[in-house]
A and B are shown apart, each in its own frame.
Chain A
Amino acid sequence: MNLIAFYMTLSMVVFLLGLHGLLTLTDPLRRLIAVNLMSSGTFLAMVALARRTDPADPVLHALVVTGLVVAISATAFALRLVTASLQFFQTRSMPDASGNNKATNDHRTGDHKDS
């Protein structure tokens, strides 16, 4: 068992753990963490494969640097989607119509207050 096989296996484990989390967790924030774990597993496989040559493959390293930045962009956007959908469902689940109006009013006062 060499280094590459070891880390390829580790990448598989991390990826599958993330997949399990994504499928079973209910908290959207934890699901995001699970997706991030899956991407970490993928990156780990790529970097382990980059070790096949000496010196290590710079193309794979560059791709993973790109991937890291894309991953944080996607995470930030997904987080915003999560917060926006939470807001949506909280407003929608108000018991009566007056509550709904109130919510929109709060909305406005909040905006005014900040400006």
Chain B
Amino acid sequence: MTSSLLPDLVLSALLLVMAWGAMYAPARASAMSLFIAFGVVMALIWARLGAPDLALAEAAIGAGLTGTLLIQAASRAPSQQQTTLPMTSFVVALVFVAAASLWFLAYLMSAEGYSLIVEPDLASDYRMVPDLPQRVAETLPDSGVSYSVTAVLLNFRSWDTLLELMVLLLALIGVRQLAPTPTIYRTDRQALPTTPPAAPPTSADTWPLLRVWAKMLAPALLITGSYLLWRGAEAPGGAFQAGALLAAAAVMLRLAGLIPPLRWSRLWLRLAILAGGLSFFSVAVLTAVAGDGWLHYPQALAKSLILFIEIVATLSIAVTLGLLVIGEREDLRR
């Protein structure tokens, strides 16, 4: 072990503490907060591993939106009974995890395992190193964009991205079909008939700081999101990161009560949700009917097609993710 691994040791120690706390912290609220912190440390690790796209996506989606989702659900769920486990369970878990990881490390350090993870400069001796990156680099000029991750997402493996948009749509439909009713978590049923269901306190009254911050942060998020979308063609960024940032802005404004509910019955909302998948799908059909094949862009049009898909997909992703996160509120009900 060399001293160059010192920052990695610090990061991984942080990560493990956050992971442990996110599951076993006594209070549920602190567990959720630690999960957000886990996401932030994870984003740092992505940056350390040379994956800026993932750092952006993790910070926005993994830490921010998932955290909001969990905290919202936790605040509505009935307070949990005892969650701490007997001490022996922790000890067994620690021993098992440590033993398995050490065995795994030993395997990686053995000759057989080492050939799987060899560093780039030693790669020539081994055939285990994949040739995909090289092939991506070779065909990158034909893809219409100059950044490899965006090229893979929207050209080489656009099938994945198309299906991913469908997964998002499916999740939103599922969440809507199981739409909550205002009385889900009410426990004191005796009091109910006399008092009408308490109007949830509008956060506008209770959180003045949130309002002020939301007003300052929302424009910044909007600009950052648009910038990420625009730069996605030649630098880290792209539709998903931009969409997540825009969704975060919408969620924040909505939580602060600064924008009215995004009602499901509005046509433009449904159109915005469907737009990404539909336009991507129609491009796929057009290329299959009139072009060289399913999602095989004509080279001259590739850049404009990718740009078109990215812009529409960003809109859809932003609206869908935002609705997924604040779907607990009245937005999805009608």
- Contacts from A to B (Cβ < 8 Å): 1-10, 12-14, 16-18, 20-21, 24-27, 29-30, 32-34, 36-37, 40, 43-44, 47-59, 61-66, 68-77, 79-84, 86-87, 90, 94, 99, 102-103, 105-107, 109-111, 113-115
Contacts and interface: CB of A to CB of B under 8 A. Distances in A.
15 contacts: A3-B8, A5-B117, A36-B66, A52-B120, A52-B129, A59-B152, A65-B54, A65-B57, A70-B167, A76-B69, A80-B178, A80-B180, A94-B189, A110-B183, A114-B330
Contacts of A71: 62, 66
**Interface SS of A by simple majority:** helix
B117 A17 contact: no
Nearest to A57: B133
A33 B96 contact: no
Contacts of B259: none
B269 interface: no
Given A24-B89, A40-B38, A57 B132 contact: yes
B93 A20 contact: yes
B66 A65 contact: no
A59 to B, nearest CB: 5
Contact of B196 (A24, A52, A109): A109
B186 A106 contact: yes
A61 B53 contact: yes
Interface in B55-70: 57-58, 61-62, 65-66, 69-70
Given A32-B70, A77-B174, A102-B189, 18 more contacts: A1-B1, A1-B105, A3-B5, A7-B8, A14-B19, A18-B19, A27-B28, A44-B42, A44-B45, A54-B120, A55-B148, A65-B149, A69-B57, A70-B167, A82-B77, A86-B78, A90-B185, A110-B197
A66 B31 contact: no
Contact of B324 (A3, A21, A70, A72): A72
A107 B183 CA distance: 6
B138 to A, nearest CB: 12
Contacts of B42: 40, 44
A84 B178 contact: yes
A20 B156 CA distance: 37
Contacts of B280: none
B8 A6 contact: yes
Interface string B1-43: 1000100100010011001101110001001100100100010
